[in-house]
Structure 1
Amino acid sequence: MHYRELGKTGIRVSEVGFGAWAIGGDAWGPVEDQASTRAMERALELGVNFIDTADVYGNGHSETLVTKLLKGRRDQVVVATKGGLMGHHRDPKREPVYDASEKVVRAFEDSLRRLETDYIDVYFDHIWWNDPRETEAFVTAFSQLKREGRVRAVGVSTDDPEYVRHFNQGRTLDVVQLDYSLLNRKAEGHILPYCQEHGIGVVVRGPLRMGMLTGKFSQDTQFPDGDIRRNWPQEAWYQEQLAQVEALRSLASAKRSLGQLALRFVLNHPAVSVAIPGAKTPEQVEQNVAASIRPLLSEEDLRLIEQVTAGGTPA
């Protein structure tokens, strides 16, 4: 496993982390807690030290499972979690819950309780609303939590450059979490250059495009009930991205799977600190982690990737 600096935070992270959304059990189809725990244990054995979760994943269940990983080795794990969507998740018609910094701190403390720790390494605003009160509440709460030593770094989870710039007005934004993959290269146009310029760490979610870039999906794939991908096969973009994946398949080999190629691609960008593919089983973890030691992308690889995926990059 190779390690990188998380922006200017002084925190050193494995370049491949563990995305803990799926283990929450409410969005990615069937998952077993025992398998999830074994997957996280295997990740640590293979050198992963960055775990990303959120209060909304499984309504707190993901955070609770991560707790098992921290027992007796809290200082060995860099834990990132997020707040800001819980109220919306429970009731889409509700007004934003974070109209005051005290509520942000209360949500943070709920996460501390579930994680059974007295500090969080990286705390993100899980952005949803356009209400400016939410942003200001988080900015105020972030300052308090850092001052109290209960959080080491603060960030925002968003794909909107305006949010990133707004949060960084006082040059206090440490980390950005964003969607970036071979099939979604929009971040290359604005957010990634901005983060690189300002020394902001970058956590990449969706580096495998929710499994699409593993190459295991087809037109006949049927997703189970409870899986957020359930209706994908009926969407026009799904057929388009299947075709892109097929065009990239020639870059896979016995030494590097298509999924590992996809992870190497996002890790190839100089602004990226860590990619967080999800995993439900130890076997999936092993496939993801192996990307850290697979061959770097060649010029020929990059030329084909550009031909196939340049449409995902803004002019």
Structure 2
Amino acid sequence: MQYRKLGKTGWQVSVIGLGTWNIGGQWGEVDDRTALATVWRAYECGVNFFDTADAYGEPPGRSEELLGRALQGIRHEVFIATKVGNWARRHGHPLPYTSPLHIIVCCHASLYRLRTDYIDLYQCHIGNPTDAEIEVFLEAFERLKEQGKIRAYGISTNSVDALMRFNKHGTCATCQLDYSILNRAPERDLLPYCQENGIGVIVRGPLAMGVLSGKFTPDTVFTDDVRRSWNEGERRERFLRRLEIVERLRFLERDGRTMAQAALQFVLSHPAVSCAIPGAKSPQQAEANANAGDGALTEEELKAIDEIVQPGTVV
């Protein structure tokens, strides 16, 4: 496993982290034993950065609870990142986040579920917050830092405007963003801004919600809560277009490297990226993802990818 500095924090984090949205049940049923084993296998393979959110899981908070249970005994050896801003939104009961107290009470709840007395990285989970919301989040995050409840903070967004507004005081440590071979839009302005301002980049969606794993076919039917809408209409058409691109990328597969591992190594090839956080629903998936942190794509392979998906574009 390789390790890189995470922006202003100075922390050395594994280039492959573990995103724990998947273990909470929204991507299909995962029993507790499998969820805990998945986290542990990632750790055994060198992963030291674990990302979650208070909204992840069914019911919301389940992903945090499972991660907290799994990391008991090794908490001091890892970095925990969680997010705030989407609690109960999908159930129709979002918090207004009009006062720092809303964020502070959510932080206390996350600390309880994670079984820890501090969060390494606390992130705003509203992708395009208003100026008023930014003021509330920044005030809350600064209070929480002073109290020792969090160590650093950032935002999860694909909007460079939102990031710039959130970083107006130069205190934003990280940006979590959606980036993959199929979504190269961040290369236009978001990644350069992060690189110029010392903001650590955490890549979510490096496998494009599984499309870049290479395991799906035109006959695939999705049953999980997150991707069920891909079964018909425009989203189905886009899924099929993306599958065609994946077939053109099959040259990346070779002995000792899967399509998914190549996709992870692609996002890690950008110099602004600190860490990629693919999800996993089994110890085997966690191990395979972690193994991508031991290699890299060649310049020839990167040039070939550019011929299929042009830099700065989205499929």
Q: TM-score range by the shorter chain?
A: over 0.9
Aligned length: 309
Match of 1:264 in 2: 265
Superposed, which structure 2 residues align to 1:68-217 within 5 Å? 68-91=69-92, 96-128=95-127, 130-217=129-216
| Partners of 1:54 and 1:83 within 8 A in 2 | yes
| CA deviation after TM superposition for structure 1 residue 8, in Å | 1.7
Q: Which amino acid in structure 1 is aligned with residue 22 of structure 2?
A: A
| CA deviation after TM superposition for structure 1 residue 312, in Å | 5.1
Match of 2:34 in 1: 35
Equivalents in 2 of 1:128, 1:303: separation in Å? Answer: 31
Q: Which amino acid in structure 2 is aligned with residue 265 of structure 1?
A: F
| SS of equivalent residue, structure 1 residue 208 | coil
Q: Per-residue CA shift, 1:232-256, capped at 9, x if unaligned?
A: 2432211110000000011210121
Superposed, which structure 2 residues align to 1:268-307 within 5 Å? 268-294=269-295, 296-307=296-307
| CA deviation after TM superposition for structure 1 residue 135, in Å | 1.5
Match of 1:9 in 2: 9
Match of 2:67 in 1: 66
| Partners of 2:45 and 2:291 within 8 A in 1 | no
Summarize the Cα distance change of 1:312–1:118 in structure 2 as closer, same or farther, 3 Å threshold. same
Q: Per-residue CA shift, 1:5-64, capped at 9, x if unaligned?
A: 101212111100000001111x21222221111011111111100000000011000000
Computed over aligned residues only, the root mean square deviation of the Cα atoms, in angstroms, reads 1.4
Is residue 223 from structure 1 mapped to residue 222 from structure 2 by the alignment?
A: yes
Equivalents in 2 of 1:11, 1:128: separation in Å? Answer: 24
| SS of equivalent residue, structure 1 residue 199 | coil
Q: Which amino acid in structure 2 is aligned with residue 308 of structure 1?
A: I
| Partners of 2:192 and 2:272 within 8 A in 1 | yes
Equivalents in 1 of 2:49, 2:114: separation in Å? Answer: 15
| Partners of 2:128 and 2:162 within 8 A in 1 | no
Equivalents in 1 of 2:4, 2:239: separation in Å? Answer: 33
| CA deviation after TM superposition for structure 1 residue 131, in Å | 3.6
| Partners of 1:21 and 1:53 within 8 A in 2 | yes
Summarize the Cα distance change of 1:311–1:46 in structure 2 as closer, same or farther, 3 Å threshold. closer
| SS of equivalent residue, structure 1 residue 8 | helix
Structure 1 unaligned spans of 5+: none
Q: Per-residue CA shift, 1:201-225, capped at 9, x if unaligned?
A: 110000011111010011100112x
Percent identity reads 48
| Partners of 1:135 and 1:167 within 8 A in 2 | yes
| Partners of 1:259 and 1:288 within 8 A in 2 | yes
| SS of equivalent residue, structure 2 residue 8 | coil
| SS of equivalent residue, structure 1 residue 156 | strand
Match of 1:49 in 2: 48
Equivalents in 1 of 2:128, 2:13: separation in Å? Answer: 30
Match of 2:255 in 1: 254
| SS of equivalent residue, structure 1 residue 98 | coil
Q: Which amino acid in structure 2 is aligned with residue 118 of structure 1?
A: D
Q: Structure 1 length normalisation: TM-score?
A: 0.94
Equivalents in 1 of 2:52, 2:129: separation in Å? Answer: 23
Is residue 232 from structure 1 mapped to residue 233 from structure 2 by the alignment?
A: no
Q: Which amino acid in structure 2 is aligned with residue 177 of structure 1?
A: Q
| Partners of 1:121 and 1:151 within 8 A in 2 | yes
Equivalents in 2 of 1:128, 1:268: separation in Å? Answer: 25
Equivalents in 1 of 2:36, 2:304: separation in Å? Answer: 38
| CA deviation after TM superposition for structure 1 residue 134, in Å | 1.8
Summarize the Cα distance change of 1:128–1:265 in structure 2 as closer, same or farther, 3 Å threshold. closer
Q: Structure 2 length normalisation: TM-score?
A: 0.94
Summarize the Cα distance change of 1:22–1:154 in structure 2 as closer, same or farther, 3 Å threshold. same
Equivalents in 2 of 1:192, 1:131: separation in Å? Answer: 22
Q: Which amino acid in structure 1 is aligned with residue 209 of structure 2?
A: M
| CA deviation after TM superposition for structure 1 residue 87, in Å | 4.1
Q: Per-residue CA shift, 1:277-300, capped at 9, x if unaligned?
A: 000101101110111113x22222
| CA deviation after TM superposition for structure 1 residue 132, in Å | 3.0
| Partners of 1:251 and 1:301 within 8 A in 2 | yes
Q: Which amino acid in structure 1 is aligned with residue 92 of structure 2?
A: D
Summarize the Cα distance change of 1:177–1:256 in structure 2 as closer, same or farther, 3 Å threshold. same
| CA deviation after TM superposition for structure 1 residue 171, in Å | 0.3
